[in-house]
Amino acid sequence: MKSFFLALRFLTILPWGGSLTPKDEEIVSAGKYFPLVGLIIGLFLWAFYCGAAWIFPETVSVGLLLLFWVVLTGALHLDGLADCLDGLYGGADAEERLRIMKDVHTGTMGTAGLVLFLGLKYFLLWELLTASFPAYGILLVPVVARWTPVLLGFLFDYARPEGGLGAALVRGTGKKELVWATLLAWVPLWVIGGFWGLGLGAAVALWALLCGWFFKKKINGVTGDVLGAVIETGEGVALLYLVGVSSHG
């Protein structure tokens, strides 16, 4: 249970258990629970939306849902996305991209990318939640997105020789962690979503693999920022998939 609470504390603002300075092996062990934490996030999102939609108009309730989503996760993955966009835009080679990504300041490309991405996420949520598709579909979006760091950690090398945020997870993830994380992600996908749930998992898995391959070319591997960016964009891909499914009956 210690590993689960560490995962919960790392991926959300919920202060339940977990050390502020965990050991590397504790981080690796926590990784297998990332999809389970994603399910908890999804439950919070679904409950929040149902309450907001009961009180406010649809456009407002969706906006509040997006705000709650960002706050609940501490904007952790948005920060990774912004850093990756800045690094890819401003760096001429792998070393320079990594240096820019490590900068604590957000540049023009990172800022513009976050605004555009959050705008897209709002419209995707609005399309999904106003369609006939069941609202509980949003339960699975955080689940499958938080499976991707374990997948990428197992398949790809860590890009920074000196280490950094995410190094322990990437370097320590083995078959056991991948199997557990896959079970905790794909069982809910099947139980809750059936065939469209499995399709959702396949779409996000393909996106994660493409991202892993892309960053291997650009920075020789993955970093904590990359893992966060893949989680965030993976949620976007998941929402795109669900909107596509809902629009075709």
Distance CA 237, CA 234 (A): 5
Distance CA 52, CA 129 (A): 12
Task: Give domain limits for the chain.
Answer: 24-239
Tokens of 173: 């993830």
**Residue 225 burial (CB count, 10 A):** 27
Residue 158's DSSP bridge partners are 222
| Confidence (pLDDT) at 19 | 56
Please state, for a pLDDT cut of 70, what percent of the chain lies above it: 97
| Confidence (pLDDT) at 14 | 87
| Confidence (pLDDT) at 133 | 77
Q: Are 192 and 139 in contact (CB under 8 A)?
A: yes
Residue 219's H or E segment, with its range, is helix 175-219
C-alpha distances (whole Å) from 58 to each of 46, 171, 242 are 14, 44, 18
| Confidence (pLDDT) at 119 | 97
Residue 134's H or E segment, with its range, is none
What average pLDDT does this structure show over 79-85? Answer: 95
pTM confidence score: 0.95
pLDDT digits (tens, 9 = 90+) for 200-232: 999 999 999 999 999 999 999 999 999 999 999
User: Taking Cα atoms as reference points, which of 152, 172, 150, 164 lies closest to residue 24?
Assistant: 172
- In one-letter notation, the amino acid at residue 4 is F
For the cut 70, the answer to whether the pLDDT of residue 64 exceeds it is yes
Residue 222's DSSP bridge partners are 158
pLDDT digits (tens, 9 = 90+) for 86-124: 999 988 899 999 999 988 888 889 999 999 999 999 999
